[in-house]
Structure 1
Amino acid sequence: MKFDIVLIDDHSLVLEGLKTLLRDIAGVNSVCTVTNGTELLSLIKSRIFHIYITDLELPDIDGFELMHSIKENNPQAKVIVCTMHEEIWIVNKLRHPDINAVVFKSSGTEALREAVCAVMVDENYYCQRYQQLYKEKNRPDDETELPDMLPTSRELDVLKAIAQGMSTHEISRHLFISENTVEWHRKNLMLKFAARNATDLVIKALTKGYLTIPL
């Protein structure tokens, strides 16, 4: 099988360098490049890729939201994150079922080659630097509540709208995001607050101080 790859990064020089690197890998059919999430989402409406290699920090869309959209469009797609962000809350968040491989840019190009070769044979891959940080994060003396478990600013917007009794459709119109994105944020909020339903979510958010009365 020959694999088609798309690279998503807003640095043109990085894209050209990685494109040259990846074309030399046996089994790679083509390597396409885009500089932002909007361009990718438009492209995948008419073209299927097997492997997506994306940065987390894009100019127009959150990297995690983009990966969610990629998987919605093509559940069989392999997603590789190639990022410079090594913060501990990012390390934890990258352990996500939508992500098949993680490569920190500090690890060098050989790690990216290894990641591509791994996902081509349906294996997951985590660069050594990631494995080191993940191991340190899970030491017994680590804090029980990690920064990645805190709601993001956009999730807080959705949380407030839920507390005001808005439906998914109403939140979508209010925040100018898709209904799928609203549901994605809602699911993350339920996980982060360990809530059983929307009422439980609001009560726990009030208790923890993320919401105040009046809303």
Structure 2
Amino acid sequence: MNLNVAIVDDHPLVLEGLKSLLLQTEGIEHIYTAQTGSQLGSLLALHSIHLYIIDLDLPDIDGFELIHQIKQKSPEAKIIVSTMHEEIWIVNKLKHPDIDAVVFKSSAGKYIQKALQAVLKGKKYYCPQFQKLYKEKDKIGHTPDTLDSAPTIRELDVLKAIAKGMSTHEISECLFISENTVEWHRKNLMVKFGAKNATDLVIKALSKGYLSIPLK
């Protein structure tokens, strides 16, 4: 069976790296790449895609929302998530019937081929680190995709910067992370604190003890 595959990631080097790995896989006819959800939409207007490798951090759409849209249009499509996010609540969210495989970027070179082979056979695949984290989540009884789950250390860094009135660009430069990653953490914080806006976020973080005055 000859498949068309789309890789969606906003980092050109990652796209090229994954594409080179896929070129070694039998059964793949065409490999398309996109750095945004809108670019993927343009590809879908011209080509039929059977399998997707998707990063969760995209500049114009949340990765989970993109997966939802793909599955609504093509329920038979296969989805592999390649992500740098190993937070427990993200791990919990990734164990979803719409997602066929999960590979962390820290070990993608080692396990992406195994993920592809499993998915092409109609099986699920989770890299070893994902399996480890998921078991740990079960042991400690977290429900991290719900309201009031604890923010990660990096999210706390972003939270303090938001409280200081820093812009996304300023936070990006201060923490040495991309602006897309800053926005990802900001969105996660809004969900975890059930906040409507940045002011509401800071007030709720103060009330729960995650921030103190004066800010350090």
TM-score after normalising by structure 2: 0.66
Q: Deviation string for 1:78-110 (max 9, x for gaps)?
A: 000000000000000001111000000112312
Aligned residue identity for 1:50: H
Output the CA distance in 2 between the equivalents of 1:128 and 1:11: 24
Does the CA contact (< 8 Å) of 1:23 and 1:30 recur in 2? no
Q: Write the distance in 2 (CA, Å) between the matches of 1:90 and 1:37.
A: 20
Tell me the equivalent position of 2:141. 142
Write the mapping of 1:1-215 to structure 2, written as runs, cut at 5 A: 1-139=1-139, 141-143=140-142, 146-150=143-147
Q: Percent identity?
A: 53
Count of residue correspondences: 151
What code does the residue aligned with 1:70 have?
I
- Cα RMSD of the aligned pairs, angstroms, is 1.9
The amino acid across from 2:76 in the alignment is: Q
Amino acid of the structure 1 residue aligned with 2:60: D
Give 5+ residue unaligned stretches, structure 2: 149-203, 205-216
SS at match of 1:59: coil
| Runs of 4+ off more than 2 Å | none
- Partners of 1:114 and 1:28 in 2: how far apart? 15
Structure-1 separation of matches of 2:26 and 2:48: 20
Q: Aligned partners of 1:120 and 1:49: how far apart in 2? A: 14
Aligned mates of 1:96, 1:46 — CA distance in 2: 28
TM-score by length of 1: 0.67
